[in-house]
Amino acid sequence: MVRLLCLVLLTGCAARSWAPEPSKLQPWTMALRDQQPEEAFAAVYNAGSKHLIFIGAKHANKIDSPTFRMTEAAYAAFRIDTVIAEGFATSRGANPPTTIAWAARNVATADGFVEGGETVPTVMGAQREPATLLGGEADDLEIKAQMAAAGVSDEDLLGFYVLRNIPQWIGERQVTDAGDPRLPNLVVAALAKNRQSLQLPLGVLPDYQAWAAWYQRLNRRPIGSGFVTEEVGPLADGRFATNRIGHAISKARGTHLHNLIVAHLNARQTVLVVFGASHLMIHRPALDAVLGEPCYTGSDLTAAAAACR
């Protein structure tokens, strides 16, 4: 009788599983970018008795920023089981000690500046909760293989990996802009680090001059103070050649993150994701396809907890 009732109700007596829908990830376009809210925002989903809280961060370095406040509010409003953070690989494992130690060292200055940005309250909040902390990024070699299949050269991949650091370096006050005389040393160090992680030979963009020439060849102007953050955006229809590289990488990153989220929801966990706002815009259609419409969208996560009971 119980088995018959389960079949009739079509809900089953076992816990529901969700199937990932990475094909529904939305390409990042200029039109989608223009729809993105100006400040940090979130989408909260019911997942059975658990929740998915996806914070679309506006990358910030001040403790009084909306991104920092929303991250802290998520821990206060929900009982989090797993935290997925931007910027480091899932393959580092649960609660990677080097990431936690790095976040612990990032103490706010007297004016409330935190060099490591919103990753710091995300990581430290997971320690206080306590929740399992995971990186939300695919391995570099996984990205490399997918880029090769998509026709992106090793030189373009390495060059873009370094270029995308510039907005972060500006936010961290390591340079004022891309014309800062401190930039070449940062680029050389980033070339060495990323060349190693991507397992590329020394002859691929061997020095700053080669990297600067690569940049000028693609974006048709010398690297300098005229650099704009848009150049590293994954815009499918962007005006810079580097946008196309970013778009290809974004597809690989998005698929990895989407599958990771769904896997942890299927493990019956409340999941907090803290990634840049563009990622939430990209992921919304895929997450809606898996979970249905969010029970809350906005920036007040205390209100979200009440709305998503």
Q: Are residues 161 and 239 in the same domain?
A: yes
197 in the same domain as 108: no
Is residue 12 included in any domain, yes or no? Answer: no
User: Same structural domain for residues 163 and 295?
Assistant: no
- Quote the mean pLDDT of the chain: 94
> Domain check: are 93 and 123 in the same one?
yes
Domain end (from 233, 249, 265): 249
pLDDT of residue 13: 41
Contact (CB, 8 A) for 159 and 147: no
Whether residue 303 is predicted with pLDDT greater than 80 in this model: the reply is: yes
Could you tell me if 88 and 113 lie in one domain? yes
Regarding predicted confidence, which is higher, 213 or 6?
213
Residue 157 lies in a domain: yes
Let me know: does 133 contact 100? Beta carbons within 8 Å.
yes
Instruction: Answer for the pair 133, 83: CB distance below 8 angstroms, yes or no.
Output: yes
The total number of residues shown for the chain amounts to 309
Sequence-distant (6+) residues with CB within 8 A of 62 are 68, 112, 113, 114
Q: Quick: pLDDT tens for 245-294.
A: 999 999 999 999 999 999 999 999 999 999 999 999 999 999 999 999 99
Q: Are residues 244 and 262 in the same domain?
A: no
Pairing mode, strands 50-57 and 82-89: unpaired
Q: Do 116 and 257 have their domain in common?
A: yes
Instruction: For residue 194, give its domain range.
Output: 141-249
In a domain, 11, yes or no: no
The predicted-structure confidence for 50-86, as pLDDT tens digits, reads as follows: 999 999 999 999 999 999 999 999 999 999 999 999 9
297 and 262 belong to one structural domain: yes
Q: Is residue 103 part of a domain?
A: yes
Q: Say if 6 falls within a structural domain.
A: no
> Is 128 in the same domain as 273?
yes
Q: Are residues 130 and 33 in the same domain?
A: yes
Distance CA 178, CA 169 (A): 9
CA dihedral of residues 228, 229, 233, 237 (deg, nearest 10): -30
For the chain, what is the domain count? Answer: 2
Residues 6+ apart with CB under 8 A from 261: 52, 84, 271, 273, 287
pLDDT grade, residue 14 (50/70/90)?
low
Number of other CB atoms surrounding residue 30 within 10 Å: 14
Reported pTM: 0.89
258 with 114, same domain: the answer is yes
**Which whole number is the average pLDDT over 17-21?**
97
Does one domain contain both 167 and 241? yes
